[in-house]
Structure 1
Amino acid sequence: MNHTNKLELSPFFVNTIPKSGSHLLRQLLQGLPQVTHDWDRHWYFEGHSNQIQEHQNRLQTLKNNECAFGHVFYSDKWAAMLNQLGMKRMFLYRDPRDVVVSYVYYVMNKLQTDVFYPYFSRCSTQQDRFRAVIEGFKDGPYRRPGINEWYGRFMKWSKDEHALVIRFEDLVGENRTNECEKIINYLIPSIKDESAVRSLIEGMKANVKPEKSLTFRKGKTGGWRDEFDEELKNLTKEHCGQLLKDLGYETAADWN
């Protein structure tokens, strides 16, 4: 079998923190032969425990070479369900500071149906919006947790022994080729031929077309440095300095 033009993959699940590069990873994966994803049928949110059965029923309809995507908080029930289904999974995350910036721009410019758009619209400045996302806020019946709590709901996936953990920064930087190879080795461990792996990697990279992503803005790393003033930097250290250190984005909680 020519692995570079025909694959037979079991269905798999891709979980991401919002604004961490879901569309980029989706394009890379769909650069693999026959790999598909249907936004309408197979997009998942954390939901509630009573939705687990409904989620499982939908996941069971996935066919070979088809994947599901979601923004799913970690729960033992979700992990157990994926184990029961025998599904491989990936977990993608990004520097929380860039997620803050990306989320605010996305809501203000592209997702004005978001429940927090009215709150953001009442903020006087962009800095106020960033501050709200870092600290967390409540607007009527809706509560947005601070960035540290927000990440805490997802990051247990990074400890999932069955998951391939990916950083957004590695997908957009010089490590993209290595990350693509990791993905191939994880999804298709049977492929050992180096030329076949290289061909698959090139197909993945060639399928990246940022202009086709509705959510794409800049897709770069460290953009928060152009947006945060000193007050916001200090606020970020206060609220998630340890998180940034734990994730490897800073060497100390009180970074410069």
Structure 2
Amino acid sequence: MPTVNLRADRLDALADGLVQQRLARPLFINSVPKSGTHLLRNILRMFVSPAQHYARDFVQYPNLEVTQEAFDPRAPMLSCGHLLFTDTTALVTAHVTRLLLVRDPYDWVLARARFFLSENFDGDMAELRDPRLSVDDLLSAMIFGVYRKAPSLNETYSHNAAAWLPGASLVVRFEELRAAARSLDETYFSTLLAAAGLSLPDDWADRVRIGADPAHSGTARDNLSGVSRRLPDTLPDLHRRLVDYEAPGLRRLLGYEAS
């Protein structure tokens, strides 16, 4: 599997000083890679005892044999990962509260490109950092995949999002989560915590503010290192049309377009 280089954070120490609720059943944040996993995870860590934080690894299909301990109903844990949908993974997580985190595919293309260009990512794809590769071609590679190294947008969203939709306790859209964290939207976080099996404590806003601080996320945009290419702030129109060509109906399925 590709390697992600992250620095340790202090959230467990901060959460340990708070009165925490205990999870009654395992809670799993399953996400499309580069969809704000650390943001959602770090916010929820502020509401769950550090003793129930599964910190061994991100749960993924290649390491499922050693990480499925995160789903032990006898010792409920908060875990997260990028878990492909298969009959095996559906069975392993059948008793688990699943939160599904997604991101607008248009913005995901840029986030993926930015991450692959950074020094935080090591996935044997040095050719993507070659200055001879145009930004247009780089973005196309993010949409259609890197041969034998990185799946296409369609494959990623099919197996990490679409197939999980029917069994999700709640679908969390990154853009809505980020906006709610900035505005401290009480209704939003009450709904989120209820879906996670938790109640909203009186000091919820302080907890959200701490958990959402980008300083605690090694993969937040501003914390990526070594990104030498300048990428557009929004996906160009032609590449938007390529996303729609590669995954027709996906944005509507995820709630980013009106039905």
Alignment TM class, shorter chain as reference: 0.7 to 0.9
Alignment of 1:149 onto 2:160: no
| 1:214 alignment partner, SS class | coil
Preserved CA contact (<8 Å) 1:20 1:168: yes
The answer to which of 23-32 and 237-246 deviates more is: 237-246
Match of 2:91 among 80, 83, 88: 80
Preserved CA contact (<8 Å) 1:30 1:204: no
Preserved CA contact (<8 Å) 1:31 1:205: no
- Which has the larger Rg? 1
In structure 2, stretches of 5+ residues that fail to align are: 1-17, 224-230
Cα gap change, 1:127 to 1:97, in 2 (>3 Å): same
Match of 1:136 among 138, 145, 148: 145
Aligned to 1:70: 81
Aligned-residue sequence identity (percent) comes to: 23
| 1:18 alignment partner, SS class | coil
Aligned to 2:250: 243
Equivalent residue letter for 1:135: F
Measure the CA separation in 2 of the matches of 1:128 and 1:208: 33
Measure the CA separation in 2 of the matches of 1:188 and 1:119: 42
Cα gap change, 1:26 to 1:52, in 2 (>3 Å): closer
| 1:226 alignment partner, SS class | coil
Match of 1:231 among 220, 235, 238: 238
| 2:123 alignment partner, SS class | coil
Equivalent residue letter for 2:142: V
Match of 2:22 among 8, 15, 18: 8
Match of 1:60 among 59, 72, 89: 72
Equivalent residue letter for 1:77: T
Alignment of 1:24 onto 2:35: no
Aligned to 2:110: 101
Preserved CA contact (<8 Å) 1:123 1:129: no
Q: TM-score, normalising length from structure 2? A: 0.75
Measure the CA separation in 1 of the matches of 2:93 and 2:74: 13
Alignment of 1:212 onto 2:219: no
Cα gap change, 1:105 to 1:52, in 2 (>3 Å): closer
Cα gap change, 1:121 to 1:203, in 2 (>3 Å): same
Preserved CA contact (<8 Å) 1:164 1:186: yes
Cα gap change, 1:53 to 1:216, in 2 (>3 Å): closer
Cα gap change, 1:134 to 1:186, in 2 (>3 Å): same
Equivalent residue letter for 2:196: L
Equivalent residue letter for 1:236: V
CA drift at 1:58: 5.4
Measure the CA separation in 2 of the matches of 1:114 and 1:53: 22
Cα gap change, 1:42 to 1:145, in 2 (>3 Å): closer
Aligned to 1:37: 53
| 2:247 alignment partner, SS class | helix
Preserved CA contact (<8 Å) 2:104 2:251: yes
User: What root-mean-square deviation, in Å, do the aligned CA atoms of Structure 1 and Structure 2 show?
Assistant: 2.9
Measure the CA separation in 1 of the matches of 2:241 and 2:67: 40
CA drift at 1:115: 2.5
